[in-house]
Amino acid sequence: MPATKAADNIEKIKLGARHLGLDIVSTARLGGDHRKEFHPSIREISASLEYAVVIGIRLSQPVLLTVETAPTWTYYYHYRNVNFALDQAALRISGFVQKMGFRALPLPASQILDWDRLRGHLSHREMGEAAGIGWRGRNNLLVTEEFGSQVRYTTILTDLPLPGREDPPEPWGCGDCRRCLSVCPVSAIHEDPADFELDKCAAQLRRFAKSEKLNTLICGLCLRVCGGKDPGEKLKG
Ligand code: SF4
Ligand code: SF4
């Protein structure tokens, strides 16, 4: 394996990814605790892929404003397009990594494998937390100071040495904000993110898929109100 410096490697990835429309690119060094939650289909291969590149694309505010009481077709197409763009970006980044002589495993932005827990190969939210992008919000999504929860993510696992977090986690959190609690139609969101009721949320997503004739599990209500800095301004229609 070629010798490379972690800090140089992330700069090379960012340079290669500059035309891919990404709003967030960050990296993490993974431990066994992260891996034990991975889907069994990638647990063995991921054991030798010690690093993660987490990429994100911000959702459109005007599209989210169409979500007033239920997910809309406008949001559905946007959600699909953003996932597609993330998958394409992950593919391109994996290509750069392989050209550098390392291995890369691009994971889908949105593919459910565990239907009880609504989980894919891994949790992009957990990878984002490990990469220092933000915190687990009361709505169970990754929240950043700048964009709130209005970003979709995917992850590339790799053996290319990349910077990990050495600092203790920032004292981040939702603080006094409770905007998402009142908009959830099934009261799945609570004061403590650990009390989030996934079963209630999942049941509502299934109801929306049926009532709105969408063939995917989306909602958007708690996302709409979680726009990061100055949410009041952003929510003006
Ligand atoms: S809306 Fe507020 S309370 Fe809810 S997840 Fe976002 S920052 Fe946290
Ligand atoms: S996605 Fe919808 S149902 Fe689930 S917690 Fe957010 S608002 Fe509630």
Which residue minimizes the CA distance to atom 7 of ligand 1? Answer: 174
Predicted local confidence at residue 236, as pLDDT: 42
**Helix residue ranges per DSSP H, 25-136:** 32-35, 40-46, 61-65, 73-99, 124-130
Q: What is the pLDDT of residues 23-58, one digit of tens each?
A: 999 999 998 788 888 999 999 999 999 999 999 999
Q: What is the pLDDT of residues 106-125, one digit of tens each?
A: 999 998 888 888 899 999 99
User: Candidates 136, 140, 174, 196: which one to mutate for ligand 1, based on the most atoms within 8 Å of Cβ?
Assistant: 174
Q: Report the atom number in ligand 2 closest to the C-alpha of 139.
A: 5
Q: Pick from 98, 94, 111: which is nearest to 152 by CA?
A: 111
Q: Which residues line ligand 1 (CB under 6 A)?
A: 137-139, 143, 148-149, 174, 177-180, 225-226
Predicted local confidence at residue 95, as pLDDT: 96
